[in-house]
Amino acid sequence: MKQLIFIIAAALLAAGTCNRINARNMEKPKKISAFPVGDKLPETFSKYFVGQAYLARLTRNGALNCPISNVTFEPGCRNNWHSHTGGQILVAVGGRGYYQAEGEPARELLPGDVVEIAPDAVHWHGAAPDSWFSHLAIEPNPQTNRNTWLGPVDDAHYSAVTAGAAAIASTPASATAPAAGIAATAESSAAAVSAAMSMSSAAPIPAAMSMSSAAPIPAAMSMSATAPLSSAKSAASRLRAAAVETRAQLFSGCESELAATDPELIEIFDNFTFAEVLGYGDLDVKTRMMCILASCIAGAAQTEFRTMLEGALNVGVTPVEAKEVVYQAVPYVGMARTVDFVHIVNGVLTARGVALPLEGQSATSPETRFEKGLAVQKAIFGERIDAMRAAAPENQKHMQDYLSANCFGDYVSRGGLDAKVRELLTFSMLLTLGGCEPQLRGHIQGNLNVGNDKRTLLAVVTQLLPYTGYPRTLNAIACLNEAIPENE
């Protein structure tokens, strides 16, 4: 790793990379260094940065265990205070920027400068006020390295520390004795930092963006600049080991933004959801996450859906499976509610570099949708379908045709997910919607017919409890007990 950094730094210095970019031109520059500028951070993440940043992933082979990205900041842009459990290495490659560790003066960065950031060291980095800036972000220990994102670097603090660093950089060597001069400058700079932080806004702003090879996660720990760093960490320290392990598995160490503003709530929710509830049943992680996604759609929970989608993708749910969860929702919750989730999935997949559209999963044509849909209906519900169609009044038979051709032919028959998973998703959506007990009972029987027993259904109900609440959960259990009495 050290040899790699030395080669990069030496090449940059030999090339004489320009250390200043005209800050008046705020458009994305074509070239700042030998590395690509990349694309704007997605809106999901750019709102957590002060100013606009760009990201270009340089390594893709995870087997190498050396994720490297080029991060470019427009003038004045910087990320939030944060830390890495496994540390980080920065190599400045273009323009002029700054790095500051907690409790230390800001350090000016020019091409060829290397910053070795110790594990758990709280810091921020970004561009100078009057210059674009690019650095390579190298992630050591990628298997276990996790980020904790804290509060923003407000304008007062940023202005004070960058002005102090610029003064240090411009002071002639002969102006003062080395030891005394450095000590005095460091002392005044530290005072300026302290003063700026005391005047900063206490309003917490969430932030999250991992510069590692793993896809970015939208949820983050928010913290005001005036809050002690320990306050945001105290809730996490009280989490059960199982909850900590689950969060790390799903979200790569990123915390909810509420961890700073509502630590007691997060402590209660995480311990209950990711330790206590998770201990019930034996659903595999992918099925559990897809049921939670389906429930979030039915509950119109866009923020939670986005967070859980990232977690689902991190534990192996494929882009096709994620899309099919959303498509499965259309006939059960309606397109008006589902369309926002289509856009959320598209945005998350695009941010992860997944090309759209995905491979088609439709299994029918306009000519075969009714026939195949009816066959799928009968495979799930048996002879009941013929009886239901025969009993329909003449002026309502069209609805039975729609169920066969549209609901089951256009959607349920699609590839990407098998019948057992699709029935669990439908069950999850119906119990979350509430007021759908007749349909819920019908799909309890459908689940039994495709091989999902009461134990599995009760596990789904239990895993959804933190997201749906007790009334709908208890109603679903009542329907389960009615359809499958305990003495059976």
Domain regions of the chain by residue span: 2-198, 229-279, 285-361+414-483
Per-residue pLDDT for 191 more than 80?
no
Is residue 257 predicted with pLDDT exceeding 90?
Answer: no
312 or 18: whose pLDDT is higher?
Answer: 312
Comparing 185 with 7, which gets the higher pLDDT? 7
Here the tokens at position 328 are 């499965």
| pLDDT bucket at 24, cuts 50 / 70 / 90 | very low
Looking at domain 285-361+414-483, its CATH architecture is Up-down Bundle (1.20)
Q: What is the mean pLDDT of residues 6-27?
A: 47
Span 107-111, mean pLDDT? 95
What's the average model confidence in pLDDT over 170-182?
33
Top CATH class of 2-198 equals mainly beta
User: Rounded CA gap, 165 and 143, in Å?
Assistant: 35
Residue 28, SS3? coil
pLDDT of residue 183: 33
Confidence of residue 265 (pLDDT cuts 50, 70, 90): very high
- Could you tell me the CA-to-CA distances from 44 to 80, 135, 247, 306 in Å, in that order? 15, 22, 20, 10
Distances (CA, A) of 51 to 58, 83, 95, 188: 23, 20, 16, 28
The alpha-helical segments, DSSP class H, found in 299-383 are 302-314, 319-333, 335-351, 369-381
Task: Say which range, 94-103, 194-203, 235-244, 435-444, has the weakest mean pLDDT.
Answer: 194-203
Q: How many Å apart are CA 423 and CA 356, to the nearest integer?
A: 26
Output b/e per residue, 332-351; b: 16+ Cβ within 10 A: bbeeebbeebbebbbbbbeb
Please state, in angstroms and rounded to a whole number, the distance separating the CA atoms of residues 281 and 436.
25
If one compares 244 and 165, the residue with the highest pLDDT of the two is: 244
Q: 25-39, 126-140, 304-318, 323-337 — which is least confidently predicted?
A: 25-39
**Nearest-CA neighbor of 219 among 265, 250, 259, 257?**
257
Neighbours of 49 (CB within 10 A): 19
Residue 131 has pLDDT above 60, yes or no: yes
Q: Over the Cα atoms of the chain, what is R_g?
A: 27
- 247 pLDDT band (50/70/90 cuts)? confident
Query: 4 pLDDT band (50/70/90 cuts)?
Result: low
pLDDT score, position 3: 54
pLDDT surpasses 90 at 440: yes
pLDDT confidence band for 253 (50 / 70 / 90): low
User: Which pLDDT value is given to residue 43?
Assistant: 64
Name the more confident of 154 and 64.
154
Given the DSSP bridges, would you call strands 114-117 and 147-149 parallel, antiparallel or unpaired?
unpaired
More confident residue, 181 or 439: 439
* Ramachandran quadrant class, 7 (left: phi over 0; alpha: psi -120 to 50; beta: rest): alpha
* pLDDT at res. 151: 84
Report residue 311's pLDDT band, with 50, 70 and 90 as the boundaries.
very high
The amino acid that residue 462 corresponds to is T
Domains 2-198 and 285-361+414-483 in one fold: no
Q: Is the pLDDT of residue 116 over 90?
A: yes
pLDDT, average across residues 352-366: 95
Above 90 in pLDDT, residue 312?
yes
**Bigger pLDDT: 293 or 141?**
293
pLDDT over threshold 80, residue 261: yes
Grade residue 96 by pLDDT with cuts at 50, 70 and 90.
very high
What number of other Cβ atoms are within 10 A of residue 264's Cβ? 11
